Structure 1
């Protein structure tokens, strides 16, 4: 048998290696964004700072000719999409799960499995009819068109349903004895109990919404509604099309800016996120 310190070294070595694999590409992108386009064009990706970072990020936030939409506008659009995506899914999922668990109607179980079956139909499969519905409702080039068609969540409904089923039934009986109706029981008791689960689902859905590419690309023809992911793709399309010297530093800088809000959300809600995924006692 190996000694305890040997196992510790191996475990920490695996963790360090995994961290490096995750962080190293971001580090290279960050350092490359601080070099001039000429340096990147001649020497390739850089591992150390080049002292050109201020000029790069000033050009990104102040406006760049290669970007059809200012970076701050794209970041704002992504933030609206991420928040709307997460909050909308949480609202719909909590209400649907509450109805399925506490309103005991005959078709509750079949309806749940119908909702769960939609996990087998990703957005790419139903994107054409979804686009047709949004177009007929005249919601193209709008935040409502970006957010509303995607807020139904089988994943969120499943997690909240499982959570609500683990809540002791005595709580509802006690609430009834105190005169609390279904709405008050949901708002005053279930939602506070679900705080860690809400945080976990919020992080997951915010990151998914922030990283959406295909749906915003189809729903928006107005550049004022472009998200930062579309902007990054636009930069690399400009690079591939040739012409002037490619602004690699701008592309890398925009990539770094796009990672900041999701990282902040994860850091802020990290403890609640982990607790919401592993907590079993209510």
Structure 2
């Protein structure tokens, strides 16, 4: 039982407020910088009051109108990043649902061995197997393609494990009732398991969306054409290597634009995310 002490409540609220300020201040600084001119951003100290160039800066960022460095339209990079993220997210969920369904409801030789082999792949992330994976993708001529961006990242042992744990808790009576109604395995999967798994699917959707949106290392190898740069790579190219000045106001506008989709997904699906994580723990 949590004790109801006023001083403890006051202290916990102070800690939360300070933590929020530490987290939000850099975001506020980026938003302010995205509304100022390049010269105003470079002033020391930079003004913390929003400027009057919000529309101009965001339009220049979206269309790739930079004064220095590489001109990369954020609109194109947003589209590439969104396509990659959606393919990875839905691909991971679909493959994990089917693999967990097969492991739990089908009886075949070495069923548990197959599950543990899938689970062991948690110790083999992309960073560990990046050289042989890159070699395979190059030999298949998938550089600068959405297939090259997504297929090596589309399997998920974590999602398979979570769906397996949930399917184990589903009463066997539902499967028996489905059989008595004449339903096949895929009908039971589609009409019973998938609707019951909606909270878990929603939670994994948020997690996998953030995972796909923040990918950097693998797209860095896959993208050699500017038209296929995702935002994580494009922002790095916009900053350059220090040889030329940087339009920091446009870079900050690009950063803010990059933050909008994942924040929107989290805010919209917050309730399903919490419900899914709670149901998974049960």
| TM-score normalised by length of structure 1 | 0.94
Contact 1:32–1:49 (Cα < 8 Å) also in 2: yes
Shift of 1:220: 1.6
Asked if 1:276 is matched to 2:276, the reply is: yes
Counterparts of 2:261 and 2:70 in 1: how far apart (Å)?
A: 20
- State the Cα deviation string for residues 200-228 of structure 1 (Å, max 9, x = none): 00111111101111111111211111001
**Match of residue 41 from structure 2:** 40
Q: How does 1:15-34 map to 2 (within 5 A)?
A: 15-34=16-35
Contact 1:140–1:219 (Cα < 8 Å) also in 2: yes
**Match of residue 267 from structure 2:** 267
Shifted more, 254-263 versus 65-74: the winner is 65-74
What residue ranges of structure 2 are gaps of 5+ in the alignment?
A: none
Shift of 1:64: 2.1
Match of 2:77 among 74, 78, 85: 74
Change (3 A) 1:196 1:45: farther
What residue ranges of structure 1 are gaps of 5+ in the alignment?
A: none
Match of 1:233 among 230, 233, 236: 236
Match of 1:161 among 160, 164, 172: 164
Shift of 1:271: 0.3
Q: CA RMSD in A?
A: 1.8
SS for the counterpart of 2:127 is: coil
Counterparts of 1:272 and 1:118 in 2: how far apart (Å)?
A: 28
Change (3 A) 1:180 1:3: closer
- State the Cα deviation string for residues 159-218 of structure 1 (Å, max 9, x = none): 111111111111111111111110000011000000010000011111110111111111
Counterparts of 1:185 and 1:273 in 2: how far apart (Å)?
A: 25
Shift of 1:78: 0.5
**Match of residue 115 from structure 2:** 112
Change (3 A) 1:71 1:262: same
- State the Cα deviation string for residues 57-103 of structure 1 (Å, max 9, x = none): 11111222444431100000010011111000001100000011111
Equivalent residues, number: 279
